[in-house]
């Protein structure tokens, strides 16, 4: 069941309180040494029976200058806490934040009463009761919220149960994939650096190394999603090496596993990216299209070539070239929507660059479709059939998250700040079409951006 408008308003109200405190702290810093602060000083001096002298006024003004950053930091921390809980949190997160707020209120109020500073007590109480009840009523909109776990759309893939190995199974795509495969009653092995963080079940096993898999285990499908995020910082030479190594080495390790398995898997679904095509302006790109040479292309090309070595073991290989994956608890949309939640419609450059997106559930459906349809192999574009430009994306998103002002971020500025990341991803793009999936009669649950955003953002 989608979130209602009441929850959205609670969320925005809490963000508003945080932003207000951040702004108030900045105001304190600037007016601390002006006549505008004098009425407040008079109240303080009268309360504590302190003589109003130039030295005392200067001392208290200095205190306010230091107090300003504290208030601003508190407001920013409040915004981050609310944002994190709403999009990624659970009951434990809520308890921790609530406990911290209660401790602050009790201690601060106690000190105010002890010193007879009742004006400060009133201000504190207003701030606390404006925030705390609303936060208690706020519900998380993360994937951990049962209302977001609508898995019935995958029921059409309930056929033969398989044993499936997943690398990268604890990330944004992987978590939802594991949920789905568990719902479909498959036997699942998930490779993760920290298996102790997760609970094993009868058909769900978390392992730290592929060496933990016995040679006699019959694995039907391997889904390889491992790889360091390309949006993790400026693309330095060392960073590029990490991007490449994290993908190539994990895929080579899979090939080593397949070599020693007594029974070879039927299929490898290897994650790749539409960055394979490079920047192509307005040209429609399908699986047979040519590429523009750049770092993104070279990265994807080497990754795919490594995956294709499994064909020598008679393993069918699907190279899933994934676009911008949209979901409700992380991924690119979590960053893209943030300014919108503060009322700012943000467009990058002239907005003409294409964004080839896909709903996360459709991407997972593609993987399940590849498992069932043995004629599928080679490159497969993991995108929705209706890509949009950045300008259109921003406009559509603003219809779901109401904004009051528009900001255009200069492309040149982004290029200076993040370098190649901007040049190859943010201010350029690809107009990618999932032709192979369409030709094989795959049905999208969310073929257009409006239907995807409505399901993800849950505004009605």
Quote the number of domains for the chain: 2
What confidence tens digit (pLDDT) does each residue in 323-361 have? 999 998 778 888 888 888 878 899 998 999 999 999 999
> Residue 250 and residue 209: Cα distance in Å, rounded?
11
In a domain, residue 143? The reply is no
Residues 63 and 161 in one domain: no
Looking at the fold, whether 108 and 198 belong to one and the same domain comes out as no
* 108 in the same domain as 24: yes
The answer to the question of residue 375 being in a domain is yes
The lowest-confidence range among 55-59, 105-109, 344-348, 445-449 is 55-59
Which of 114, 137, 160 marks a domain boundary?
A: 137
Would you place residue 283 in the very low, low, confident or very high pLDDT band (cuts 50, 70, 90)? very high
Please say which residue of 137, 166, 184 terminates a domain: 137
Q: Structural domain of residue 116, as residue ranges?
A: 5-137
142 inside domain = no
The H or E element that residue 331 is part of is helix 331-336
272 and 350: one domain?
A: yes
**Local structure of residue 426 (DSSP, 8 states):** I
80 within a domain of the structure (yes/no):
yes
- Across 246-275, average pLDDT: 94
Is residue 338 in a domain?
yes
Whether residues 192 and 86 share a domain: the answer is no
Residues 338 and 190 in one domain: yes
340 shares its domain with 387: yes
What's the average model confidence in pLDDT over 296-313? 95
Predicted pLDDT at 108: 83
CB 449 within 8 A of CB 393: yes
Considering the domain boundaries, does residue 144 fall inside one?
no
CATH classification at residue 376: 3.40.50.720
Question: Would you state the structure tokens that stand for residue 221, as one six-digit string?
Answer: 């499908």
- Residue ending a domain, among 116, 137, 158, is 137
Query: Residues 204-219: pLDDT tens digits?
Result: 999 999 999 999 999 9
Q: Let me know whether 275 and 365 are in one domain.
A: yes
Dihedral angle at the C-alpha atoms of 191, 195, 198, 203, nearest 10 degrees? 50
Q: Is 100 found in the same domain as 227? A: no
Does residue 95 lie within any of the structural domains?
Answer: yes
Q: Are residues 213 and 347 in the same domain?
A: yes
418 within a domain of the structure (yes/no)? yes
> What does the pLDDT look like over 396-453, one tens digit per residue?
999 988 888 999 988 888 888 777 777 777 888 899 999 999 999 999 999 999 999 9
Same domain (yes/no): 155, 231: yes
β strands within 203-330, DSSP E: 204-207, 221-224, 267-273, 284-285, 316-322, 324-326
Statement to judge: residues 76 and 179 lie in one domain: no
165 pLDDT tier (thresholds 50, 70, 90): very high
């Amino acid at each position: 069941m989608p979130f209602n408008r009441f929850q959205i308003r609670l969320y925005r109200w809490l963000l508003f309180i945080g932003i207000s405190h951040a702004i108030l702290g900045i105001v304190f810093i600037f007016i601390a040494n002006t006549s505008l602060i004098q009425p407040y000083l008079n109240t303080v001096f009268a309360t504590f029976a302190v003589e109003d002298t130039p030295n005392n006024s200067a001392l208290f003004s200095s205190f306010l200058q230091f107090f300003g950053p504290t208030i601003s930091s508190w407001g920013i921390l409040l915004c981050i806490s609310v944002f994190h809980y709403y999009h990624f949190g659970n009951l434990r997160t809520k308890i921790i934040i609530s406990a911290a707020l209660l401790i602050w209120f009790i201690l601060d109020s106690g000190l105010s009463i002890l010193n007879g500073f009742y004006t400060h007590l009133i201000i504190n109480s207003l701030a606390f009761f404006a925030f705390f009840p609303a936060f208690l009523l706020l519900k998380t909109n993360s994937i951990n919220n049962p209302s977001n776990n609508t898995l019935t759309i995958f029921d059409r893939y309930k056929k033969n149960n398989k044993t499936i190995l997943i690398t990268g199974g604890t990330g944004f795509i992987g978590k939802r994939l594991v949920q789905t495969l568990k719902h479909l009653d498959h036997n699942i092995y998930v490779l993760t650096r920290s298996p102790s963080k997760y609970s094993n079940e009868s058909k769900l096993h978390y392992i730290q190394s592929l060496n933990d898999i016995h040679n006699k285990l019959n694995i039907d499908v391997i889904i390889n999603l491992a790889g360091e995020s390309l949006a993790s910082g400026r693309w330095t030479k060392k960073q590029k090496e990490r991007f490449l190594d994290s993908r190539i080495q994990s895929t080579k390790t899979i090939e080593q596993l397949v070599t020693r398995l007594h029974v070879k898997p039927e299929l490898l679904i290897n994650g790749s990216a539409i960055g394979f095509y490079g920047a192509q302006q307005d040209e429609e790109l399908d699986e047979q299209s040519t590429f523009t040479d750049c770092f993104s292309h070279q990265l994807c090309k080497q990754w795919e070539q490594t995956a294709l070595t499994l064909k020598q073991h008679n393993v069918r290989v699907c190279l899933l070239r994934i676009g911008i994956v949209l979901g409700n608890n992380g991924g690119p949309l979590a960053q893209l929507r943030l300014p919108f939640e503060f009322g700012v419609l943000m467009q990058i450059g002239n907005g003409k660059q294409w964004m080839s997106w896909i709903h996360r559930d459709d991407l997972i459906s593609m993987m399940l479709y590849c498992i069932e349809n043995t004629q599928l192999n080679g490159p497969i574009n993991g995108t929705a059939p209706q890509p949009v430009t950045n300008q259109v994306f921003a406009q559509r998103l603003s219809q779901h998250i109401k904004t009051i002002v528009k900001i255009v971020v200069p492309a040149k500025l982004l290029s200076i700040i993040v370098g190649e990341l901007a040049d190859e991803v943010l201010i350029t793009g690809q107009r990618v079409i999932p032709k192979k999936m369409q030709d094989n009669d795959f049905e999208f649950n969310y073929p257009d951006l409006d239907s995807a955003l409505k399901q993800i953002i849950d505004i009605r």
